[in-house]
Structure formats: structure tokens, C-alpha cells
Amino acid sequence: MSTAVRTEDPALLAATPRRLSSNQSGSDKVFVVLSRTVGATVLAITGGIGFFLALQAFPTLRRYGLSFFTETQWQPEADVIGIASVLVGTATVALVAMTVAFPLALAMALFIVEYAPARLRSSLVALVDLMAAVPSIIYGLWGFFLLQPHASNVAHWLQTYAGFLPFFRVDADAHAAMWEQSRYTASAFVAGLAVAMMAMPMACAVMRQVFSQTPLGEREAALALGSTRWGMIRTVVLPFGRGGIIGGTMLGMGRALGETIAVVLIISPSFDLKFRPLEVGTNTVSALIAGRFGEASPSQLSALLTAGFVLFLITLVVNTFAALIVANSRSGAGTDI
Amino acid sequence: MTTVTPTLTITPTRERSRPGADESPRTWVRSLEDLPATAEPQRRRTLSTSTAQDRMVVLGSLVSAPALAWLVCFRLLPWGTVLAFALTGFVLFLAIVTVTTAALTPGPAVADRLAAALITGGAALVGIALVSTVVFTFARGAAVLPHLNTFTQDMAGVGPRDPLDRGGVLHAIVGSLIQVGIAIVVTVPLALGTAVFMTEVGGRFARVVRTVVEAMTALPSIVAGLFIYTVLLLQLGVPRSGFAAAMALSVMMLPIIARAADVVLRVVPGGLREASLALGASRWRTVWHVVLPTARPGLATALILGIARGIGETSPVLLTSGASSFLVVNPFIGSMNSLPLFIFSAVRSGEPVYIQRGFAAAVILLAIVLILFVVARRLARPANGR
């Protein structure tokens, strides 16, 4: 018989297992409390800002109601305040920026991952990171002084040859002997080009990261089946990186929506509700704040803060969706097509 | 073991395809002597992704596209600008590559060449854009930089039209450094502490903090500035000063740095923490001696890029600091200029000389950012060298 009934042995009683305790030592308690305090402080600061902004929205919305979102003019002296035109302007600038930045970011990401020689790759990555670090005011100078003369030529060209499209319309005669260059400057188009320089690196960085995670086996399988390099990119890399492409583009758009100083430098403010990016004059929420905060009374300030809060909410939604899409994309999770 | 007839020195695949060879065995051992004496020593094939024909097509297109573009832009159509020439040239290059490849090779290759040309062209455009930004800024500011008084004097008593050998941007440089310095002192401990709390302590409260911090990275910098302007300047009565600007920068930088540091700390391998804990170290010692040193290069990069972002940000400063024209060292009293703000007001003045000064300040700002960036890359290298 291999089992034995264990009898009570007084000698064994002393060997009861040690009491395990999850009590922390003193220094650990201090550490936890301290870091929790820091976390709570940061939560209070950052959350406080959001709460404060939300709080500011109440008096404004109670005063102007829904017309705050539908009114195009911003005339505090006439008690007419609305953000419809600046919202449209913000969207226009962001749209122009992403129209330019998206193909460039995609091309740059694909070039870095697929086409560039291996020894160039890390310097190209650094180049894109550097583009993200260049201050926005530098891009503003670039857009205003270097790009604007050329961009107005492009705008005039677009109007001349594609003016039948509603969004290429400009309120000026394209075929005049001396075309009015000033009608084509300081527009959402030029501002969008400068903002594209800021949005592009963010989008490109996300795309590059996702593309470089494409499973090597699938790449080589496509190539071994006789695919060309572009065929491999189209059937393996791009489907794999779809989440990164969408998410990166949205992250870039989040940056483009909030950009201030480059836009302020370039545009000439106007409050028309229009979608004519090539034409002079537009306005964005951030440019509105930068232009109007100085002479604002407290109630106007809370209106500006409300506009800022709306912008923040839009950016937040865009960024959250972007993060969700990137997180849920298929990053090395096997082979499901 | 079967013997092999002398005719079987050719490869098995060709052998199998021969109709008369059905009765021959499918596998055999080939003795070395059977190899023909004339066999060449085997050489490695050179592998290349492009053939000579591809290269000639690209070369020919590179020559013919500009020529045709010149003809189109400067002779046929009234588009005589450099930009139009470059764009037309690129489009014509794509067209010529497509047509030539289509004439020489089958379908998939055409799409491949076209995509390669497009992607390379897009990447080149990005490179041109960055290089033109940097070169343009340096070129416009170059005339001012040899005047050393740019770095040693401020703009006190200097009019916008005064020559370049009077006045400088010292006050803006010092102001930027002071403001960012205060912002660093405020944000770095808070951001690092929060990141440590979120990754090392955890729990439900940490998830709340992480959610809020991540959400606040979406805060547009101008709104951060407006927040400080409303609360600090209008409600609490703090004057326009370097301190207020530093607070606006801190509010903007705090979520960015905290989030970046959180990402860096999260990739520290859990095994290292567990090893430290298993050796009997307390949680505090684990964080201090294992987690933070492991993540140091990444943390440094996160911090420096956050600082670079902060030093170049104009909009919070625009709302909160005011712009003095003279050197101010005390951040609590009196308005204080900074580099981005000086650039902004200079280029908006419309005076050519003043705009030049603005570009000189832009060169200095760009140089500071470049230096910070290079330092960040240097620090990050050990982590990449795995």
C-alpha cells in the first residue's frame, strides 16, 4: 500500500507554511502614493482644461442656441456670433491638406519600406521625423514667401482648365489679359499646402510602421508566385496596412485641423460660407481665435472658448477613431485575407 | 544501384520531358566522373531587380521628358514657369515610361514601372519640400547672420527700418530658452511620474488617467493658449509674462510628453521587472534601477521631441507672453519675447529689413530644433542597435 494515513505529529506542526503577505514595504507605499498623486495631479490639470472648456460652452450655447453652429458671421458688436463659416473653412483647409498629404505620405512610406536601398532607409526615416519636428511657423514662412507665388499660378491654371468643377471656381475672370493674381492668393488652397507639410510626416510615420510589419512570408509568397513588386505591394502590403493607412491619415488630419500659425500667416480672414479653396479669403477656428482673442470681452471669450472646444471635440473624435483603427488593424495576426 | 548511361549527364527535368526516356530510373546517384570534362566552373548569377532594358527605358524617359516639357511649356502653351515645367515634365515622364514599357513588356510590368515611378516621384517631392524649406529659410536669413550683433543685442530702441548692424534677437533667444526651461521644469517630472504611474502602478484609476491624457493630446495648441489666457491672465490677474507663456507651453506639452513616455515605458520587457522583483527588490527599486534605465534612450527621445515641439510652437505664446523689444530675464514681470513670436511679428510687419530679421530668427530656431533632433537621434541609437 503506497498511501499512508498521516497521523498528527507534534513535530510537524512547527512547519506550517509561512503566512504570505501582500503588504507593501514602507518605501513601496510611498512610491505608490506619490505616483498616484502625480497621476491625479495630471488628471486634474488635463481633465480640468477639458471640463473648463465644456463649462464655457454653456453660457454661449444658452445665449445663441443652435444658431451658434449655423450662423456664418462673427460680429460680436452686432451680437451675431456663429462658427458655420469657420468650421467649413477649417474643413476646407484640412481637406486640401489631406488631399496633398495623403498621396505623398503613402508614396513616401512605400518608398521607405519597399523601394529605398537598405542603407538609405534609416536616414529617410530620420528625414520624415525631422519634418515632423520642424516648427509650424517655419512652414508658414515657406508657404507664404516661397510657395504662394507658385501656388497662385497653379490655382489660376486649375481655374482656367478645370473651372467647370464647382470647387475650382474663383470669382475672377480666368481669361483676362492680366489675370488678378491677388484673387488667387491667401486662400485655403495655399494654407492647405503649408498644413500638408505638417500633416504628411505624422501620416507617413504611422503608415511606414504598419507597412514594415507586413509578414515577410506573405511578401515572399507573392514574389515567388511571380508577382511584380507593385503586384506584391497591391496584394499584400496595402491590404495588410489598410488600418495604418486610414488611421495615419486621420491622425494627420487631427494635426491639420488644429494648425494655427501657418494658417494665420497665409490666409486673409473672411467669413463667407463657401467651398472655393482656390479663392482668396477663408477662416479657420484656430485662426479665428488667434485673430479675435485680443479685443474680446469675457462673454466673447467664452464664445471663442466654445469654438475652441468644438474644434477640440472634432480633433478628439478624429484622433480616437484613428487610434481605434490602427489598434484594430491586422498587425501580424496571422494570415486572414 | 543502377548505372547511368553517358547521355544522362543532363538535368533530370529535361530528361523526364524526353519521350524516349520513360524506362530510365527517376532517381540515381551520379558519380563525379560522369560530369563532362568541359563543364564550366559554376558562377553565381548576379541578381538584380532591374534589367538593362529597364534602365535604358528610364534613362531615355529622363532625357526625353524634360525636352518635351520644354517644348510644351515654353513653345506651345503659355505656361512658361519653372513649376509648370517641372510638373509637365513629371507627367510626361510617367507617360513616356508607361508607353515605352507597354511596347516592350507585358501588362503587369507596365503597372509595376508606373507605380515605381510614381512612388519614387512622390518621395522625391517630399524630399524637395523639406530641403527647400530648410534651404529657403537659411538663404533668406543668411544676410543677417554675419552681423554678430544679431546674437548679442536686442531690439531696444531699434526701429523696423534700421540697418542690420544694429539690434538683434538676443531677447527672443533668451525668452524662448527661459520659457521652455520653465515648461520643462514643470512638465517633465509630472509627465514622467504620470507615465510611471500608468505603466508601473496600474489599476482602474490609471486607466482613467491614461484615457484623459490621450484625449488631451488632441487639444489644439491655440486652445491651450486660450485656456491659460482666460484663466491665468483674465481671471487670476497674472500679467502677460514669460511665466504665463511657459504655463501655456506646459499645458500643451504635458499630455504629449506623458503619452510618449507611457508608450516608451510600456515596451520595457516584463521579464526584466519580474526578474528584479524575484530578486527581492521592491517595486520602487525596480522602477528606479531597472525600468527607467532600460527605457532611458527612448525616454530621452520622447522628452527632446516634446521640447522641440514646445520651442517651435507659436500660438500659445502669441496669446500669453506679449512681445517686448528688449531683453527680459525675469519671467514673472513684464512681457517677454520668444523666437516664434518674434518671427511672427517680424514677417507680419511688412518691412523688408524686419522680415530679414525674422528669417534670421527662423534660422536660429531651426538650428535649435535640428540640434535637439540630432541629440535625440544619438540618444535613441542604442535602443535601435539591437
Residues of A in contact with B314 (CB under 8 A): 135-137, 260-261
Least confident of A211-215, B46-50, B209-213: B46-50
Cβ contact A71:A167 at 8 Å: no
- Domain span including residue A234: 71-328
Tell me, what DSSP letter sits at residue B219?
S
> A308 vs A265, A285, A287, B219, CA distance in Å?
19, 7, 10, 9
> B344 vs A198, A263, B79, B306, B323, CA distance in Å?
18, 12, 34, 21, 11
Say yes or no for a CB contact (<8 Å) between A40 and B209: yes
B371 Cβ contact list (under 8 Å, min separation 6): none
| Per-residue confidence (pLDDT) for residue B2, from 0 to 100 | 46
Residues of B in contact with A289 (CB under 8 A): 222-223, 226
> Is the pLDDT reported for residue A66 higher than 50?
yes
In a domain, A127, yes or no: yes
Residues of B in contact with A263 (CB under 8 A): none
| Per-residue confidence (pLDDT) for residue B289, from 0 to 100 | 92
In a domain, A26, yes or no: no
| B308 CB within 8 Å of a chain A CB | yes
In a domain, A313, yes or no: yes
A&B contacts, CB < 8 Å: 276
> Is the pLDDT reported for residue B7 higher than 60?
no
Please tell me the total count of domains within chain A: 1
pLDDT tens, position by position, B70-103: 888 888 877 777 788 888 888 999 999 888 888 8
| Per-residue confidence (pLDDT) for residue B8, from 0 to 100 | 43
Residues of A in contact with B208 (CB under 8 A): 43
In a domain, A192, yes or no: yes
Cβ contact A71:A80 at 8 Å: yes
CA–CA distance, B198 with B260 (Å, rounded to integer): 12
| Per-residue confidence (pLDDT) for residue B4, from 0 to 100 | 45
Instruction: State the CATH architecture for B170-384.
Output: Orthogonal Bundle (1.10)
Average pLDDT over residues A79-87: 86
| B267 CB within 8 Å of a chain A CB | no
Q: How confident is the model at residue A53 (pLDDT cuts 50, 70, 90)?
A: confident
Three-state DSSP state, A269: strand
Grid cell digits, residue B277: 522583483
| B369 CB within 8 Å of a chain A CB | yes
Best mutation target, B186, B315, B374, to test chain A (most A CBs within 10 A):
B315
pLDDT tens, position by position, A165-218: 878 877 777 777 777 778 888 888 999 999 999 999 989 988 888 888 888 899
CA–CA distance, A228 with A218 (Å, rounded to integer): 14
Proportion of chain B in helix, strand, coil states, percent, rounded to 5: 70, 0, 30
Say yes or no for a CB contact (<8 Å) between B220 and A27: no
Q: What is the H or E stretch that residue A74 is in? A: strand A74-75
Cβ contact B342:B327 at 8 Å: no
In a domain, A263, yes or no: yes
In a domain, A88, yes or no: yes
In a domain, A124, yes or no: yes
| Per-residue confidence (pLDDT) for residue A179, from 0 to 100 | 78
In a domain, A45, yes or no: no
Closest Cβ opposite residue A286 in set B109, B222, B309: B222
Q: Where are the domains of chain B?
A: 52-141, 170-384
Q: How confident is the model at residue B279 (pLDDT cuts 50, 70, 90)?
A: very high
Average pLDDT over residues A65-77: 83
| B169: closest CA of chain A, how far (Å) | 17
Say yes or no for a CB contact (<8 Å) between B283 and A50: no
Residues 101-140 of B with CB under 8 A from A: 108-109, 111-112, 114-116, 118-123, 125-127, 129-130, 132-134, 136-137, 140
Say yes or no for a CB contact (<8 Å) between B129 and A43: no
Least confident of A9-13, A207-211, A314-318, B44-48: A9-13
Q: How confident is the model at residue B380 (pLDDT cuts 50, 70, 90)?
A: confident
| Per-residue confidence (pLDDT) for residue B35, from 0 to 100 | 60
pLDDT tens, position by position, B188-199: 999 999 999 998
CA–CA distance, A39 with A165 (Å, rounded to integer): 53
Residues of B in contact with A288 (CB under 8 A): none
Q: Which residue has the higher pLDDT, B328 or A204?
A: A204
From A250, which residue of chain B is nearest by alpha-carbon distance?
B218
CA–CA distance, B349 with B369 (Å, rounded to integer): 25
Grid cell digits, residue B324: 517686448
The CATH number for A276's domain is 1.10.3720.10
Q: How confident is the model at residue B386 (pLDDT cuts 50, 70, 90)?
A: very low
Closest Cβ opposite residue A39 in set B140, B194, B312: B194
Grid cell digits, residue B4: 547511368
> Is the pLDDT reported for residue A24 higher than 90?
no
From A149, which residue of chain B is nearest by alpha-carbon distance?
B83
Closest Cβ opposite residue B218 in set A110, A142, A315: A315
